[in-house]
Amino acid sequence: MGEEMLPEVKRLRLTGARFEHGHLPIDSLVELQRYQELHRIAARAKWRHDHPGEDIPADFDDSVRLAIERIDAGSADISMGFEQIAVYAEYRAAAEDAVESSIAAAYSDVENAVTLPDYVGPTESLEFRHAAAELGKTLNDNQTIEIYRAAPDAPPVSISVVTRPEAVKNLTFDEDFLVSEAEQLAIAKVEPIEASLVGRVIVIEAEKQTFTLELADGNAVKGWYKHDHQLIEDLRDVIDSPSEAPLTRVTGTLAFKDGKPYRINPVDSIEQLEFDETSWGARLTEFASLLPGWSDGEGEQISSVALDAAQSLLREAYGLYGDHPGVVPTEDGGVLVEWADRDSVLSAEITAEGAFELFAIGRGDDDGEHEETRDVKQALDFLRGGDE
């Protein structure tokens, strides 16, 4: 198959006294490397999307490689072409579209206009946005990088010390989101997961579409939400001081840093939680906070449906067989409630879907009784032994 020079040309023009007469300082080459890396990040994302579970080919990055064809005088006016193995052409083309559209959106006048293709996952989105935000970092006053777009009548995107700060915000949503390389590595050690966190919303920054969730351990996690009417209304319902704000469960794509929850981006749902001020209410609060893998690497998050059903059952069964039943989480995302004494064992396992799987056995019995229902009244009737 071999390599071939594809006809498309990418043009970047560096302006300012430093770049006159086609002069290109060595320390400015990093800008070209960043530009190339953007294409590689997007191309890798497309490959992973199209080939789930497969390793990226060893020659893939080499195939998405830019080469300088010429530097014109007047400024450092650089024309580059892709050297690419033809079999990967579709990934290079997809990457070009993603890079061009995202940079143009970042340097537009529209806030939060940067949207990446659906094939770019959360981790790759973070990597891509950070890389795009680094473009122009070597520039000084009165210097620019002009990135020319494919459409002949489209004006170039101009990166400078004046335009870059707002573009960084557009790319990263928030000025403190652009973290150091060491922090990026710490975040990347654990892949983001779809999960929920429980805490209290203490700050909302509507202009940035972010909020801060304070967890029980005092850790603060920032969440990003899209402009969704229902999410905004849900947020308004839960904002208050840490001592008064209601317990809130936030679900979305959760990233970690140093093994701890770090950011939720994007947020998919926000819901208030209300548990009774009892010993088992405190236990249900703990269960709501469990992350996936809570049981030695296993264990689903305990579902809100199971928590609500368990609370309903425990309220109705209060005092039936003592005030302190055993309440434990199950690895499939449910809750197990059990009453046991020297004469009998009664249990109700509430599944993640809210079904009650009931079991009763007395001392000396060889076989117990089993029943399954979704009706809390029927579950209570079983626990009472059939008595109304």
E strands present in 216-259: 220-224, 248-257
Residue 190 has pLDDT above 70, yes or no: no
Would you state the pLDDT for residue 184?
52
For the segment 330-347, the average pLDDT, to the nearest whole number, is 90
Q: In the predicted model, is pLDDT for residue 2 greater than 50? A: no
- 333-351 mean pLDDT: 91
CB atoms inside a 10 Å sphere around CB 338? 15
Q: Same domain, yes or no, for 169 and 207?
A: no
328-355 average pLDDT score: 92
pLDDT at 387 over 50: no
pLDDT at 242: 53
129 is written with which tokens? Answer: 């946005």
**Predicted local confidence at residue 176, as pLDDT:** 43
Expressed as residue numbers, the domain containing 62 is 3-178
User: Is there a domain that residue 66 lies in?
Assistant: yes
Residue pLDDT, tens place only, 140-154? 999 999 999 887 788
Residues 112, 246, single domain; the answer is no
pLDDT tens track for 274-330: 888 888 888 999 999 899 889 888 999 999 999 999 999 999 888 777 667 889 999
Same domain, 315 and 243: no
What local confidence, expressed as pLDDT, does residue 332 receive? 95
Dump pLDDT digits (tens) for 99-147: 999 999 999 887 667 888 888 887 788 788 888 988 998 999 999 999 9
The answer on pLDDT for 79 being more than 90 is: no
Q: Do 213 and 148 lie in a common domain?
A: no
Three-state DSSP at 317 gives coil
pLDDT of residue 388: 43
With bands split at pLDDT 50, 70 and 90, how would you rate the model's confidence at 191? confident
Least confident of 20-29, 65-74, 169-178, 227-236: 169-178
Percent of the chain with pLDDT over 90: 34
Does some domain include residue 279? no
Domains contained in the chain, number: 3
Q: What is the pLDDT of residue 183?
A: 53
Distance CA 124, CA 237 (A): 33
Residue 82: band (very low, low, confident or very high) from pLDDT cuts 50, 70, 90: confident
The CATH number that applies at residue 217 is 2.40.50.200
The DSSP element (H or E) to which 122 belongs, if any, is helix 122-134
Q: Residue 249 CA to chain centroid, in angstroms?
A: 15
Mean pLDDT across the stretch 365-382?
91
> Are 163 and 210 members of one domain?
no
Domain assignment present for residue 288? The answer is no
Q: 194 pairs with which residues across the strands?
A: 253
Residues 157 and 195 in one domain: no
Q: What is the mean pLDDT of the chain?
A: 84
Domain check: are 146 and 256 in the same one? no
Contacts of 3 (CB under 8 A, 6+ apart): 83, 84, 85
- Asked if residue 22 has pLDDT above 80, the reply is yes
| Same domain, residue pair 146 and 222 | no
Q: Quick one: residue 333, left, alpha or beta (phi over 0 = left, psi -120 to 50 = alpha)? A: left
Per-residue pLDDT for 186 more than 60?
no
**Pair (168, 44) in one structural domain:** yes
Q: Is residue 287 part of a domain?
A: no
Residue 372 in any domain: the answer is: yes
Rounded average pLDDT over 32-51: 92
Across the chain, the runs of DSSP E, i.e. the strands, are 3-15, 65-72, 76-85, 144-147, 157-159, 193-205, 210-215, 220-224, 248-257, 260-272, 326-329, 335-340, 344-350, 356-362, 369-373
Q: Do 73 and 161 share a domain, yes or no? A: yes
**122 falls within a domain:** yes
16 and 160 fall within a common domain: yes
Q: H or E stretch including 342? A: none
Structure confidence at residue 323 (pLDDT)? 65
Residue 282 lies in a domain: no
Burial of 52 (0-12, 13-18, 19+ CB in 10 A): exposed
Nearest to 150 by CA among 105, 100, 114, 102: 100
Query: What pLDDT band is residue 218 in, cutting at 50, 70 and 90?
Result: confident
Predicted pLDDT at 88: 84
Cross-strand bridge partners of residue 349: 336, 357
Query: To the nearest whole percent, how much of the chain has pLDDT over 70?
Result: 89
- Overall average pLDDT of the 35-39 stretch: 93
Q: Does 126 share its domain with 167? A: yes
d(CA 232, CA 185) in angstroms, rounded, equals 32
Tell me the average pLDDT across 324-338.
93
